[in-house]
Amino acid sequence: MLLPVSQRLQYWRSRAPDAVVLGVAPEQSTDLARLQGDLVGWRYAIAGLQRRVAQRIPAYLTLFARLDEGTGTQLDWRGTLISALGRPQPAATQIPALLQRLDTCSLDSVCGAPSLVHRYNARTQALLAWTQEQALPMLGTTVNGLAPLKLQGVLVSNTLEASVPQHLWAQWLKDRAALVPASHAGLPAGAPLPLPIVPHLPHSWRCAGWLRGLLDAMSFTALAVAAAMAASYLGNERLIQQIRDDIGSYRLTGYQMPGAKLGALRQLQADRDQLLSFARTGVPWRLSWGMYRGEGLLPLLEREIRGYAPPPPPPAMISLDSLSLFDSGKATLKPDANRVLMTALMSITANPEKQALIAGHTDNTGNPAINQKLSEARAIAVRDWFINMSSLPPSHFAVKGFGGSTPLAPNDSVANKARNRRVEITLVPDIPAH
């Protein structure tokens, strides 16, 4: 599983070391408790480093002491090493293994002549025994959840550095073998670099600080570009889905709801204007980055908008006053009704593609059933006059009587009752039979 981004960025910035080396020099210390505390602290530091860089760091133990009785002038290394790519071994197994093989040199290229090996055996054995007794418990302890330390190698080196009086190794030799080695002078050079470890380290690529900064900047830029492209993709998906929803809503809205149909059309026009604005002034950055797909929606919007047909106008209606056509309570046309009916007939014949619906109406005076029959009889009388006075067939007309059921005004005055007594002629498009 990939590390979280925060840990990965921290790993990029942290330059993990190729290895960590603990140098123990018992001739330079007089306080055993302090030395053991430093060993435990060193283990905590290694554990924290490995957690921070999210990888295992090869660990090596080096032991420094004067092994040539102060007469030599060169460094001599001996010990065991494991490649940094190999499996590390617990310190508790490596120290005893060294004690059993002091008669041979495991690092032939750096150990020196065989005479040196035999001369150092006694002191090297004593140094390893001191390490096994005094230092090894601190390297293998599991206090506070620490795992036993595993080493890639253990090295012993003759040191040219001067020792301090009453050092730990001298005290240990005195207690174990009644030997009191004298303090010896030397060079104030500090612990030498364990060069035999270098060939065993993993090969890692390093770069200059400015190049690392450039690579970090390029990495952050790549992340920013990827985030911008993802945002652009999502924005374009929302834009396309919105236009698709608007087109679907427009198609589902019928002409029987002219207001809703016109509102859906205006939304399509707004979508088209927005896309045209992008084409003229440029696509905004939140929709660009190579993700914009609005050009393909413009033809679809234009086709839907051009296909809009305005709803048909409301049917034309001619209202005739019943008093000018009929006597009160009668359904026979008056002789002077011809002038009024001729004007209506001219409108009907001027629209031959439309059917004429003739409806008779009365006020609420009298019996409703009688008024119903009266209104229908008046509508039939008007229809028959139109048929007789024109070449229109009877199928061009439809009649119905409503009586007093659909007044134009309340029947509470003489004037309002006069308005309600009427014959209405409505011209509607003729619907062919299927």
pLDDT tens digits for the chain (434 residues)?
333 444 444 444 456 677 888 888 888 888 888 888 888 888 888 888 888 877 788 888 888 887 765 555 566 676 667 665 667 777 767 777 776 665 444 443 334 445 545 555 677 778 888 888 888 888 877 777 788 888 888 888 877 677 788 888 788 888 876 665 555 555 555 566 777 777 777 665 555 556 777 887 888 888 888 888 888 888 888 888 999 999 999 888 887 677 888 888 899 999 999 988 888 888 887 888 778 888 888 888 898 888 888 766 666 788 888 888 888 888 899 888 888 899 888 888 888 888 999 999 999 888 999 999 999 999 999 999 999 998 889 999 999 999 989 898 898 898 888 888 999 999 887 654 43
- Domain span at residue 236? 210-306
- Is 311 part of a structural domain of the chain? no
434 within a domain of the structure (yes/no):
no
Say whether both 46 and 90 belong to one domain: yes
Query: What total number of domains does the chain contain?
Result: 3
CA distance 170 to 180: 6
What CATH number did the domain enclosing 362 receive? 3.30.1330.60
115 within some domain: yes
Are residue 175 and residue 192 in the same domain, yes or no? yes
Q: Based on the domain organization, do 286 and 358 belong to the same domain?
A: no
Shared-domain flag, residues 73 and 198: yes
Residue type, 84: A
Domain boundary among 306, 334, 363: 306
Domain end call among 183, 206, 229: 206
Residue 276 in any domain: the answer is yes
The answer to whether residues 152 and 44 belong to one domain is yes
157: in domain:
yes
Task: Choose one of 206, 234, 252: the last residue of a domain.
Answer: 206
29 & 163 share domain: yes
Q: pTM for the whole thing? A: 0.43
Same domain, 136 and 9: yes
Q: Are residues 117 and 69 in the same domain?
A: yes
Q: Give a yes or no: residue 219 inside a domain.
A: yes
Sign of the four-CA dihedral 184, 185, 191, 194: negative
CB under 8 A, 24+ apart: contacts of 427-432: 427/315, 427/316, 427/317, 427/318, 427/347, 427/348, 427/351, 427/354, 427/355, 427/356, 427/357, 428/315, 428/354, 428/355, 428/357, 429/312, 429/353, 429/354, 429/355, 430/353, 430/354, 430/355, 430/396
Residues 123 and 102 placed together within one structural domain of the fold: yes
Q: Quick one: 39 and 133 in the same domain?
A: yes
Question: Are both 161 and 226 inside the same structural domain?
Answer: no
Within this chain, do residues 189 and 239 fall inside the same structural domain, yes or no?
Answer: no
